[in-house]
Structures are given as C-alpha cells and as structure tokens.
Structure 1
Amino acid sequence: MPNSVAGGVTVAGYTVGILCLRSTHPLLPGNVQHVQSFDAPVLYHVIDLEDPWPMMRGEPQVADMLAEGVAALARQGVRAVAGACGSFGYYQKAVAATAPVPVFLSILTQLPFLLQAMPQSARIAVIPAVGESMNARIYEQCGIDDPSRLHIAPMRGRRVFDALLDDGTMRDVEALRRETVECAVAAAREPGVAAILIQCSELPPFAADIQAATGLPVFDMTTLIRWLALATNCQPYSGLIRRPLP
C-alpha cells in the first residue's frame, strides 16, 4: 500500500465509467448497460434525454451533456470513459478534446486500430441497428478513413429485433439470438471479411454464438471496456522465477 492516499469521493475503486441513455427495455448480460457484463466494477452516468432523436441525428447541443458526463465520472475517480450508445460516436472528437481522461464514445473508434492489423484486402463486417447510422460524419469522428473496407450488415428488418428497436419489447430471446447469428453468418460470407464488429449495444450478449457460427474474431463495446479496465488498473505478475543452481 502507498504511504498516503487521496480522498474526495464517496465510493472508490471504479476505473472505467460508462455513459448511457435512460432506458427501460430488457437488458441481457453482455449488454454494456448490464453491470454483470464485466469482471471489474464500472460506474455509470445516465444522459437524461427526454427525446433521444436529436442525439441520433448528431445535433451539436448533445456534446455538452456528454462532456459534462465524462467530467462527472472523472471526478468520481474513473480513468477512462466508454459510451453505451453507438450514436455517441457523433461527438467523439468534440468530447475527447476537453476530456480529463481517455474517451471511447463508440466501438467504431476501434476500427482504425483493427484495420491496421489486417491485409489491405481484408474487410470488417460491422453490425449496427440500422444502416443509416453508419455515415460519413460518424466515420470522420471515429477516424475511419476508408469505409470501403467495411461491410455494413444492419439488423433492421428482422421481426424480433424490430420489436425491440421500435417498442422496447423482447419476448423471445432465443429468436433474437437466431436473427443476430443469421445476420453475422451472412456478413461473414461477404468477400474479404476477416472479423466482425458489433456496433449495436443490444447484440454483444450473442458474441460467443456469432464466433461459434463464423469462426471469426468478434469485437464489441464489452471487449473494449474490459481492455480499458486492464489498462487502467494494471495488476502485478506473479509466478515461479527460474534461479541459477547453487
């Protein structure tokens, strides 16, 4: 233990903070807003929008609310902040520019890093809720210079997912699982697809099913948050050390 420690917070020990929208729809383990999706404790801050559509359209007034949320989480001691909604990506550069800690408002911020690890001919299949959410503005905010290397496979148009999207009902989890895997399998068959990135925050609960069905690496916001938790709370190594014989 250090000789001295700092106070100033009511509850300590959170390393990653998560911005989310107020919601009432069912949340499965694996959803970013389900706390049991993570091995390390996370701290949530709710962006309380009465009408989420200005944010979904990327209207600029939402940036201040997100920046205030990041600052509030940082005051509580978190060392990095992630976003639970893909549309937060519209504000990545504006919020990160003044943030006191590293900020990853969308899983799309990971795409430039992933694409560098693959041949130029390889592509990543991205699964959003709706195709319109993948556009030039969000690419620019998240540092994606070559969208041609992405195959967009939206979930919109599938019965169970549409019910969740439109009225917040999830009456058949197994059917939603099947719809998600079907979407991913079809995307994996596209030429050059070498990995799958789940952009929609409702779908990481089915990441293991997607990987079992496709055999591909699968990335989503829960994997990014686990990485942030490790990076902001490094643990010492232990184990046997081979020593010279006497």
Structure 2
Amino acid sequence: MCYGYEFSSRQSKKSVFSAPVGQYISGYTIGVLVLDLWSPKIPGMVASAASYRYPVRHKLVEVHPPERLLYGDPEILEELVIAGKELEKEGVRAIVGACGYFGHFQPQLASALNVPVYLTSLLQIPMIKAGLKSDQKVGILCADSDNMTIELLKKTGVDDPNIYVIRGMGIKPEFSAIMENRTSFNNEELKKEIINEAVKLVAENPEVGALLLECSDFPPYSFDIQQEVRVPVFDYMTLINWAHQAVAQRPYQGDL
C-alpha cells in the first residue's frame, strides 16, 4: 500500500478522493521520529515545527535513558516500528529521525515500512564524498564520538573508514543540557561551543572538504559554522528537505 499520495482535482482531473482506512488526518509529507528529550527546541532543530516550510508530523519514541540509542539497544526497534507504522497511517510520504544514532536501525526500519525511511543525517556521507576530490574527506561533527562507530556508519551505507574524520562535542556546559534533559540552555554559549568544535575539526584536518553535522540540534548553527570554516556544510535539514522535494514534487512555472 502506498500512503499519502492524493492530488488536487485541478491536477489530477478527479472529483472523487480516497484514503486508506484509518488515515484520519492528511497533508503531512514528512514524518519525524523524535526522542522524549525536554531541552528547548528552537527553529532549525529537527524537533521544532518552525524549522519547516511544509507540514511535518512529529511522533514521539520513548527511549529511557536516551543513552540506549547511542549504542543501538536492539529493544528500541520495536518502538520505532510501531511509531513508523502510525506515521504511515497518518499519510506521511517519508519518515526521518531526529537523532543521528537512529542510524543503528536504518536497515531494519526501512524494510519494515511501506514508505521511504531516512533515519539519520549520516546517510548523506556517500553523496558528499562523491563530490569531493579523491584525497579529501568528510568531517563528521557528532554528539558522541565514542558511539560513532564503524558498525553504525556501515548501516548507513558508509563502508570505507578512510573517507571521513570524526569529532565529538564531548562534555560541554550548554550542549550537555540536551542529553541531560535540562529545560534551558544559553543559546549564544551553545552556538559558540558547536562552532568552536567545527572550526577545530577543519583546522586539525586540512583534508576535510565538507562537513556533516550529525546531531538534529545542530542545524540552527549551520550558517554560522559555514561562515567560519568556508566549506560545504550538510546537516539534518539538508537531508529532510531533499527527501521532501522527492516525495512532494511541484510543477515549475515561469516565462519562456
């Protein structure tokens, strides 16, 4: 069954519409699986509806403690499948995650659902590398470098460990607010922490030709990072916008 595809009568010349049994809402092209983390969700973060120019449907996945996701606790998969199937019934056309470490479950969830699944920003790495010179690498800035393992990256289609370098955020006063479920953070200080680590990653690895920001809370700072490092910067929103464009194509208009 293909969920979520129905078009206006102007485009399809139809006056009769149908929907799968159980689809009680419509209009959401992207479904987003989110963790129950309580830190503020500002525009640009994947868990914020203000980050999108199109409708998205967020779905909570309860993972206690959240560290279980970092190392890929296999018991999480059942919850992901349940949440993914709920999003399917609600009419989404593609499903994404709101944490790069959801990549532990990318192959299994893609096989279990009937819509495309792009759980992690890491899926962009092969495409990014394809556009770089042979001696250039992708710099991965992630939340937790200890759990950014070869096994995780292989599940996202990255088989060659020689094409990337990794830097983790480590323990930082403001970034720690996210994983510690603190209900506030100083945004200016958080921005400085993330930019500083991105700058160090590029400065210490001159072979880096592009950056991939793993964490779903990094996109608000992508612009400022790029101003400092002067290389292409990919993040969760570049992945989600790409998926949205593919599942919700629009006709082109203009003068000839």
- TM class by smaller structure: over 0.9
Q: Does 1:143 align with 2:165?
A: no
Instruction: Map residues 62-141 of structure 1 onto 2, 5 A cutoff.
Output: 62-141=76-155
Give the residue type in structure 2 aligned to 1:81. I
**What aligned pairs does 1:86-235 form with structure 2 within 5 A after superposition?**
86-189=100-203, 190-235=205-250
Match for residue 53 of structure 1 among 63, 67, 82: 67
**Within 1, Cα distance between the matches of 2:80 and 2:177?**
28
Q: Secondary structure at the match of 2:216?
A: coil
CA distance in structure 1 between the aligned counterparts of 2:185 and 2:245, rounded to whole angstroms:
35
Paired residue for 2:50, among 36, 47, 51? Answer: 36
Bigger mean CA deviation after superposition, 3-12 or 38-47: 3-12
- Counterpart Cα distance in 1 of 2:112 and 2:52: 27
Q: Deviations over 1:168-203 (max 9, x none)?
A: 254321111111111111112212111111111221
CA distance in 1, matches of 2:42, 2:197: 19
Distance 2:174 2:84 in 1: 33
Query: 2: CA distance between counterparts of 1:55 and 1:165?
Result: 11
Paired amino acid for 1:6? S
User: How far apart are the structure 1 equivalents of 2:166 and 2:67?
Assistant: 22
Equivalent position SS for 1:91? helix
| Alpha-carbon spacing, 1:88–1:229, altered in 2? closer, same or farther (3 Å) | same
Map Cα deviations across residues 19-62 of structure 1 (whole Å, 9 max, x no partner).
11112111111110001111111011111234333333212121
Aligned residue for 1:97, secondary structure, equals helix
4+ residue segments displaced more than 4 Å: none
Letter paired with 1:135: T
**Inter-partner Cα distance in structure 1 for 2:112 and 2:61:** 18
Residue 167 of structure 1, CA deviation: 4.6
State the one-letter code of the partner of 1:208. Answer: F
Partner secondary structure for residue 57 of structure 2: strand
User: CA 1:170 to 1:194, structure 2 compared with 1: closer, same or farther past 3 Å?
Assistant: farther
Structure 1, 148-157 or 193-202: larger mean CA deviation = 148-157
Q: Residue deviations 1:72-119, cap 9 Å, x none? A: 111111111100012211111111122201101111111112111212
Structure 1: which amino acid aligns with 2:98? A
Say whether the 8 Å CA contact 2:211–2:234 is kept in structure 1: yes
Q: In the alignment, which residue of structure 1 is the partner of 2:6?
A: none
Kindly provide the amino acid, as one letter, of the partner of residue 68 in structure 2: P
Q: Give distance in 1, aligned partners of 2:68 and 2:217.
A: 20
Relative to the length of structure 1, the TM-score reads: 0.92
* Residue of structure 2 aligned with 1:6, choices 18, 23, 38: 18
Match of 2:32 in 1: 18
- Aligned mates of 1:75, 1:162 — CA distance in 2: 35
Give the percent of matched residue pairs that are identical in Structure 1 and Structure 2: 32
Q: Which residue of 2 aligns with 1:238?
A: 253
Q: Contact between 2:121 and 2:214, CA under 8 Å: does it hold in 1?
A: yes
Q: 1:129 to 1:119 in 2, by over 3 A?
A: same
CA–CA separation in structure 1 for the residues paired with 2:54 and 2:206: 37
**Aligned-pair RMSD on alpha carbons?**
1.5
Amino acid in structure 1 at the alignment position of 2:76: V
Question: Structure 2, unaligned stretches of length 5 or more?
Answer: 1-8
Which residue of structure 2 lines up, in the alignment, with residue 244 of structure 1? none
Q: Deviation per CA, 1:192-245, whole angstroms, max 9, x where unpaired?
A: 11111111122111011001111111111112111111111111011112xxxx
Asked whether the equivalents of residues 177 and 185 of structure 2 are also in contact (C-alpha less than 8 Å), the reply is: no
Deviates more, 1:205-214 or 1:182-191: 182-191
